[in-house]
Structure 1
Amino acid sequence: MIYQEALNDLANHLNSRITKVVLNGVYEITQFEKKAVTDSTVALNFIIPASDISLVTLIEVMGPTIKVSSKAVNVPITSDNLMLETFEIEEVTS
């Protein structure tokens, strides 16, 4: 069993490493509406401006030297969108 305090510490470490979100491999977002840790969950809120992007096909969360996550999506952007990305640190048992 991993203690909750250790999971919380891992979430705080991950939060400190996230520096940007990259859309479609080229558009970088470095300003977050909110970037916070609650217990063992990291939450990122960011705005995708409709004036810059009309369709999001790839969302990557990045650190200075690592790629935290990458996912293919199909999100049309017709107005400024507030997006939420969450990462929950949890123990997995087999």
Structure 2
Amino acid sequence: MIEQAYLTRIADVVQTDIAKVVLNGVYEITTFEQKAVTDSTVALNYIIPASAVSLVTTIEIKRADNSRISYKPVNLPVTSDTLMLETFEIEEVTS
């Protein structure tokens, strides 16, 4: 079993690596309302401005060098400025 302190350490690395959110492959968000670690969970809050994006079809989380941390297809209409919450849970998987 992996110690909680080590899982938290890995979450800290993930949190530090997050540099931007890319919507629909083109719109970049680099300012976050919150980017924090609690235990082994990374919480990322950011605002999608309705004036910039009316429909989100993909969300990518990237490092500063533009390498991808995560990618997910979505269907999210944006009718007003929208506060998003992304979470990354670092956990041990046993087989």
Q: TM (normalized to structure 2)?
A: 0.97
**Are 1:34 and 2:14 an aligned pair?**
no
**Aligned-pair RMSD on alpha carbons?**
0.6
2:75 paired with 1:74: yes
CA distance in 1, matches of 2:82, 2:64: 25
Amino acid at match of 2:29: I
Task: Give 2:48's aligned amino acid.
Answer: I
Q: Aligned residue for 1:59?
A: 59
**Structure 2 match to 1:45:** 45
Q: Which runs of 5+ in 1 are unaligned?
A: none
- Report the Cα distance in structure 2 between the residues aligned to 1:25 and 1:37, rounded to whole angstroms: 26
- 1:80 to partner: Cα distance: 0.3
Identity %: 66
Amino acid at match of 2:50: A
Q: Secondary structure at the match of 1:64?
A: coil
Q: Which runs of 5+ in 2 are unaligned?
A: none
Q: How many residues are aligned here?
A: 94
**Residue 81 of structure 1: CA displacement?**
0.2
List per-residue Cα deviations over 1:54-80 (Å, max 9, x = no partner).
000000000123211000000000000
In structure 2, how many angstroms separate the alpha carbons of the residues matched to 1:39 and 1:63?
22
Q: What is the TM-score with the length of structure 1 in the denominator?
A: 0.98
